[in-house]
Amino acid sequence: EVQLVESGGGLVQPGRSLRLSCTASGFTFDDYAMSWVRQAPGKGLEWVGLIRRKDFGGPTEYGASVKGRFIISRDDSKSIAYLQMNSLKTEDTGVYYCTREVDIDYGMDVWGQGTTVTVSS
Amino acid sequence: ENVLTQSPATLSLSPGERATLSCRASQSVSHFLAWYQHKPGQAPRLLIYGASNRAPGIPARFSGSGSGTDFTLTISSLEPEDFGVYYCQKRSNWPALTFGGGTKVEIK
């Protein structure tokens, strides 16, 4: 079964850091780019960032609201994608989903169930 | 900045009715647009890619159309399980991606 499982969410104080993990199974992880998407309470979906496949150089792209604070990485040997969140703000609170990406002409075809991050003092 | 505007914000319909959801881009995105369904407590689900192609396993009552700046998601006859929030997504600047604000389809 193709599956993505997020972990690492929790309560963190503003200004601190947190790292989320996304563990993939049921498919060849190396063949896909991976994205992170979040949803703040009562708000819509917001794209956070993406990491390409290693054979495409593995470069990353980020949304404007997290650029310079969040870092996405991947460990293909473990089939895990990471979201390192630094200098957290209260507005970073929400549910964080990891998703599988193919290319420009497709979409986010596999989603995890999400992990909740709460930034509060 | 290429913004996606979805309308209406809320659509109140009864099962069996036709739903028409709009997504408008401020600049052309060609056919690089996807649609997702999101229900409370669940992960979002890809419905349509490339503006008009149904993702695997998506029922035929869901259809997408449009190109350039104006797109439509149509649900031909609403089923009870179709109620939720629908998002369009601009993919023309991949790997940079953008979601629209969403349309909530609720039971009338």
A38 contact residues in B (CB cutoff 8 A): none
> CA distances (Å), A9 to each of A22, A71, A88, in order?
11, 16, 13
Q: Please give the share of chain A, as a percent, with pLDDT higher than 70.
A: 98
pLDDT of residue A111 exceeding 80, the answer is: yes
Please provide the distance, in angstroms rounded to a whole number, between the alpha carbons at the two ends of chain A: 39
Q: Is A115 helix (H, G, I), strand (E, B) or coil?
A: strand
Site from A2, A5, A47 to mutate, B interface, most B CB atoms within 10 angstroms? A47
- pLDDT at residue A103, as a whole number: 86
Label residue B2 by pLDDT band (50, 70, 90): low
B98/A104 Cβ within 8 A: no
The residue among A102, A101, A103, A121 whose CA lies nearest residue A111 is: A101
Residue with tokens 């601190």: A16
Residue in B with minimal Cα distance to A98: B43
Which residue of B32, B98, B102 is in closest CB contact with A105? B32
Which residue of B43, B95, B102 is in closest CB contact with A44? B102
Label residue A38 by pLDDT band (50, 70, 90): very high
Please state the rounded mean pLDDT for residues A90-99.
98
Helix or strand run (H / E) with residue B20: strand B19-25
Which residue of B36, B43, B91 is in closest CB contact with A112? B43
pLDDT digits (tens, 9 = 90+) for B17-71: 999 999 999 999 999 999 999 999 999 999 999 999 999 999 999 999 999 999 9
Please state the rounded mean pLDDT for residues A4-28.
98
pLDDT of residue A60 exceeding 70, the answer is: yes
pLDDT of residue B84 exceeding 80, the answer is: yes
